[in-house]
Amino acid sequence: MQISRHFNREELLKVDEAVKVSEEIVNNFYKMSSGQWLKNRYDIKTAKDLSPHECVDGPFAQVVKYEGQQKDVPLGSCLFSFYKVCLQDHAILSTVEKKDDLSLEPFLLYIVTHELVHVVRFSKFKQRYENKNEADVTLDEERKVHRLTHTILKTVSVPGLSKVFEFYKDWR
């Protein structure tokens, strides 16, 4: 049985920094105003804050869609989509440990940027969330999102990011 690993305090600071940078560069790439940005329509959580159904083996993160509703507004017309980016600490940490040339910071930056691109695409109806389990659509969408992630990040100067690009080269 695999013992679930969680990010430690130092690693959580790196997650927080990756989230800040990713939000800024994805927002800039899509040229969204602060009013358009999806800040209140998604959240990013690490393994210690995930429900059992949000923990998966294999991927480094997943996006889970929920329906939200404003408090004190009972009307169904006030429902909105809320996306939860679920980082899989154990998968991220074990991959960084196995790959000598991967550093945690640029790897996290890529993963978070990739997941935020998914959130933007779902929110802007560029891809239907409901299709994500259909194998053909998923593979095609993953390739599109990896290409977009590469395009967004290739203008950013981050030590070790070229090694992350190499790690994901077959997905573009």
**Structural domain includes residue 84:** yes
**Structural domain includes residue 132:** yes
Name the domain count of the chain: 1
Strands (E), the chain: 42-45, 61-69, 79-87
80-116 per-position pLDDT tens digit? 788 899 999 999 999 999 998 999 999 999 999 999 9
**What string of pLDDT tens digits covers the 172 residues of the chain?**
345 789 999 999 999 999 999 999 999 999 887 666 666 688 999 999 999 989 988 899 999 988 777 677 666 566 778 889 999 999 999 999 999 899 999 999 999 999 999 999 988 765 554 544 434 447 888 999 999 999 999 999 999 999 999 999 988 8
Give the range of the structural domain holding residue 87, as residue numbers without chain letter.
9-167
SS3 state at 32: coil
Dist CA 50 CA 53 (whole Å): 8
**Structural domain includes residue 145:** yes
Pairing of strands 42-45, 79-87: parallel
Nearest to 61 by CA among 94, 84, 30: 84
| Tokens representing residue 36 in the block | 């358009």
**Structural domain includes residue 4:** no
Nearest to 115 by CA among 14, 19, 16: 19
**Structural domain includes residue 2:** no
DSSP state of 101: T
Dist CA 19 CA 113 (whole Å): 8
SS3 state at 62: strand
Strand partners, 62: 86
Residue with tokens 């996290």: 108
